[in-house]
Amino acid sequence: MSDLIADDSIPVITVDGPTASGKGTVAHRVADALGFHYLDSGALYRLTALASARHGIDPDDSGALAVLAETLDVRFADQRIWLAGEDVSDAIRAEAIGNQASSIAVHPSVRHALVALQRAFKTAPGLVADGRDMGTVIFPEADLKVFLTATPQARAQRRYKQLIEKGFSANIDSLLLDLEARDARDRTRAEAPLRPAEGARVLDTSGLNVDEAVSRVLEWFAQAQYPQGA
């Protein structure tokens, strides 16, 4: 993973954190406010999970999963996600796909296969990337690294609301157990474990609304771009 993108003139903000911490919503809103591109890295793992399920690939077959990840026919357009020409924006948000994505993300070969694809999103005028290892692995040179967190209870409530709004059935107690299990996998995996990047600004969103969280990140970015006294 030494092939870091060298163009330091393109600003990057990374927003990492556990499931349902609000990172996707915050990152997207920050990107819109700045006119930057947006990368939902978690969608790439969900796409790999969806494609592997459709192709009958065993979640433990890291070699086949890596080949699949390298050849994903994916397109992001108009806030929708397309896989092989099919709009799968809602399909990849199913809880079963999320759990499978978390399981296959532990494979180093899969993570390596997706590195170049993720780094290719770094284009002018700038990028806001959300995920779990954006600041630690994919864009360690980022101008601003943010790590969002929230209590498991607050995150379970958010995830429940998201699923219900999308028409999926959900149980709050089951969601809480799933979140805690996913957190444990993400924190303890050997490859790119979930943790704040060096120099990251940590933001607990448990008691914040989206506007407040976005404002805080934009304020931090302005400070990073124009340090006091510079």
Beta-sheet pairing, 12-16 with 144-149: parallel
Q: Is 23 annotated as a binding residue?
A: yes
Report the DSSP beta bridge partners of residue 204. Answer: 149
Q: Is 151 annotated as a binding residue?
A: no
Side chain identity at 230, as an amino acid letter?
A
Q: Where are the beta strands (DSSP E) in the chain?
A: 12-16, 37-40, 74-77, 80-83, 86-87, 127-131, 144-149, 201-204
Annotated binding residue at 77? Answer: no
Ligand-binding annotation for 17, yes or no, is: yes
- What CA–CA distance (Å, rounded) separates 129 from 2? 19
Q: Name the DSSP class of 107.
A: -
Chain position carrying tokens 């969806």: 50
14 known member of a binding site: no
Per DSSP, which regions of 107-200 are E strands?
127-131, 144-149
145 is in an annotated binding site: no
Structure tokens at 189: 């995996």
Binding residues for ATP: 17-25
Binding residues: 17-25
